[in-house]
Amino acid sequence: MKHTVSEIILKNGARGLLIHVPNASVMTFDINFRAGEYLVEPDKWEVPHLMEHVLLGANELIPRARDFQAELEKNGAYSNATTGVYDITYEAECADFEWDRVLGLLLVAITRPLFLEEEFQAEFGNVQEEMAARSNNHFRRLSLEMRRQLGLIAKTDAERLEIMQNVNVQDVREHYRRTHVAPNMRFVFAGNMTASRRDAIEKLLSTIELPETGERFALPHELPKRLHQPVFVPNDTVENLYFYIDTFMERRMSDPETDALNLINTMLTETLYSRILGSAREKGLVYGMSSGLSQTRDASNWWLGAQVSDKNAPPLMRIIVDELTKVLSGDISEDEIAATKQYALGRFQRSGQTVGGTAAGYSGRYFFDEEVENYYQIPARIAAIDKAEIIRIARSMFAEQIWGFGVLGSCGVRFAEDLQSQLAPLWRSDALPIKLPVKKTHRAKVVTSGRTA
Q: How does the average pLDDT of the chain come out, rounded?
A: 93
Measured CA distances, 210 to 16, 186, 424 (Å): 16, 13, 52
Strands 231-234 and 402-409: parallel
pLDDT of residue 439: 44
> Quick one: DSSP state of residue 302?
E
User: Mapping DSSP to helix (H, G, I), strand (E, B) and coil, where does residue 230 land?
Assistant: coil
Q: Measure the CA–CA gap between 386 and 390, rounded to whole angstroms.
A: 6
* Residue in 171, 185, 226, 228 with CA at minimum distance from that of residue 37: 171
Q: In 42-138, which ranges are E strands?
A: 78-83, 88-95
* Residue in 451, 59, 64 with CA at minimum distance from that of residue 245: 451
Quick one: pLDDT band at residue 231, thresholds 50, 70, 90? very high
Quick one: pLDDT band at residue 448, thresholds 50, 70, 90? very low
Run of H or E including 15? strand 15-20
Measured CA distances, 26 to 8, 21, 169, 364 (Å): 21, 10, 36, 20
pTM: 0.92
Q: Residue 434 phi/psi, 5° resolution?
A: -55, 135
- Lowest-pLDDT choice from 48-52, 320-324, 447-451: 447-451
Task: Give the number of C-alpha atoms closer than 13 A to the C-alpha of residue 275, restricted to the C-beta side.
Answer: 25
- The average pLDDT across 241-265 equals 96
Domain regions of the chain by residue span: 4-206, 231-427
Task: Give the number of C-alpha atoms closer than 13 A to the C-alpha of residue 37, restricted to the C-beta side.
Answer: 19
User: Mapping DSSP to helix (H, G, I), strand (E, B) and coil, where does residue 41 land?
Assistant: coil
Strands 4-9 and 26-33: unpaired
Q: Which CATH architecture has domain 231-427?
A: 2-Layer Sandwich (3.30)
Percentage of the residues of the chain whose pLDDT score is greater than 90: 91
> pLDDT of 85-134, one tens digit each?
999 999 999 999 999 999 999 999 999 999 999 999 999 999 999 999 99
Q: Measure the CA–CA gap between 317 and 345, rounded to whole angstroms.
A: 30
- The average pLDDT across 173-202 equals 98
Quick one: pLDDT band at residue 451, thresholds 50, 70, 90? low
* Residue in 56, 39, 57 with CA at minimum distance from that of residue 48: 39
Q: Would you say the C-alpha torsion 349, 353, 358, 361 has a positive or negative sign?
A: negative
Q: Measure the CA–CA gap between 323 and 407, rounded to whole angstroms.
A: 21
| Widest pairwise Cα distance in the chain | 66
- The average pLDDT across 189-194 equals 97
Q: Measure the CA–CA gap between 48 and 36, rounded to whole angstroms.
A: 6
* Residue in 326, 346, 334, 347 with CA at minimum distance from that of residue 279: 326
Highest mean pLDDT among 105-114, 131-140, 423-432, 437-446: 105-114
CB-based contact 54:115 (threshold 8 Å)? yes
Quick one: pLDDT band at residue 429, thresholds 50, 70, 90? low
Q: Measure the CA–CA gap between 380 and 66, rounded to whole angstroms.
A: 48
Q: Measure the CA–CA gap between 135 and 158, rounded to whole angstroms.
A: 7
- The average pLDDT across 245-257 equals 96
> pLDDT of 354-397, one tens digit each?
999 999 999 999 999 999 999 899 999 999 999 999 999 999 99
Q: Measure the CA–CA gap between 154 and 152, rounded to whole angstroms.
A: 6
Q: Count of CB atoms within 10 A of residue 301's CB?
A: 24
- Please tell me the class of the 4-206 domain: alpha beta
Measured CA distances, 294 to 30, 47, 365, 447 (Å): 21, 25, 12, 7
4-206 shares its CATH topology with 231-427: yes
pLDDT of residue 68: 96
* Residue in 122, 125, 137 with CA at minimum distance from that of residue 161: 125
Quick one: pLDDT band at residue 259, thresholds 50, 70, 90? very high
With both helix axes pointing from N to C terminus, report the angle between 99-111 and 195-206 in degrees, rounded to the nearest 10. 10
Long-range contacts from 366-371, C-beta under 8 angstroms, 24+ separation = 366/16, 366/17, 366/186, 366/188, 367/30, 367/32, 367/87, 367/89, 367/186, 367/188, 368/86, 368/219, 368/445, 369/443, 369/445, 370/15, 370/186, 371/444, 371/445
> pLDDT of 39-55, one tens digit each?
999 999 999 999 999 99
pLDDT of residue 438: 43
Whether 430 has a pLDDT exceeding 90, the answer reads no
- The average pLDDT across 181-197 equals 97
Q: Measure the CA–CA gap between 120 and 31, rounded to whole angstroms.
A: 22
User: Mapping DSSP to helix (H, G, I), strand (E, B) and coil, where does residue 429 land?
Assistant: coil
CB-based contact 115:173 (threshold 8 Å)? yes
